[in-house]
Amino acid sequence: MPGRMLYTDMDFLAPENEVHITGISGRFSEASHLEEFYENLINHVDMVTDDERRYPRKSSGIHVAGKIKEVDKFDSQFFGQTAKYVEVMSPEMRMSMELVYETIVDAGLSLEELRETRTGVYVTGSTLDSFQSHLQDVDNVKANVYIGNNPGMIANKISNVFALNGPSMCIDSACSSALYCIEEALRAIRGGVVDQALVGAIVYYGSPYVADDFSQNTMSKKWHRCKAFDATGDGYVRGETGGYLLLQRREDCRRSYARLVHARTNVDGKSETGGYDI
């Protein structure tokens, strides 16, 4: 279209448009924080476990996966949540509050400094595992189960708990969700909609239904070990994880892990293989 400014025409290299990653936090399979994850990698620790922490053993092997530790622990009083609500709250929502706190502190900020600021929250949410686990006994579903387990409520919960003023949304585009969140956050910062943004993603396996489906359509590994780029590869091993980033303009940084130059998303339309582009 003549005269239309393309997204790529914007000057992302201009100093006033510099955006940096200033805070990071994470949970990984068998690692409660980034330092433990690093040590596991350096020491060649196998973080795929064969146990029944999520669901019983099955011949399909869906119980073999990477799992986050101690997902049942949460300081409800610190985050101002009632014990009754936390009882039906998803692990994803609980961990998100913890990770956001850790990210803010990691960036060298206090909660009070970020309170009532123009801070956007962009969170991924692709699974309803926790919600499904509460529906095993449909005759005794407790109050707030839907609100506490709806992925779309995680971003709003963060904005509410930390008193953040700005866009607050959950984005679901399957495997590319986190990239879409980063792109939206960059647009908002560079467009002057927000002064900084929290971007996060959480994956937790609380229900066997999705794992069973993946196993039956051969997406999951038969031998429960990944063989990336190998001719013998026959799927992948599922693994739980969670992570949050704080994105800020250069002039607001107290530390910087990296400069975030650009993010771009796109789908190529109809696939030749008849599948999905995610």
pLDDT of 167-186, one tens digit each?
999 998 888 899 999 999 99
Q: When comparing pLDDT for 222 and 247, which is higher?
A: 247
HSE-CB at 122 with a 13 A cutoff on CA atoms is: 25
- 100-143 tens-digit pLDDT: 999 999 999 999 999 999 999 999 976 666 666 656 666 666 66
Average pLDDT of the segment spanning 61-89: 89
What domains sit in the chain, N to C, each tagged with a CATH number?
A: 12-226+233-259 (3.40.47.10)
Please determine, for residue 218, whether its predicted confidence score (pLDDT) is greater than 80.
no
Contact by Cβ (8 Å): 185, 138: no
Please determine, for residue 61, whether its predicted confidence score (pLDDT) is greater than 80.
no
* CA pair distance 162, 97, nearest whole angstrom: 9
Please state the separation of Cα 165 from the chain's center in Å.
21
Residue 204 has a pLDDT of 87
Average pLDDT of the segment spanning 255-263: 93
> Look-up: residue for tokens 């992570």?
243
Please determine, for residue 277, whether its predicted confidence score (pLDDT) is greater than 90.
no
Residue 12 has a pLDDT of 63
pTM for this model (two decimals): 0.86
Residue 205 has a pLDDT of 83
Please determine, for residue 55, whether its predicted confidence score (pLDDT) is greater than 60.
yes
Q: How confident is the model at residue 225 (pLDDT cuts 50, 70, 90)?
A: confident
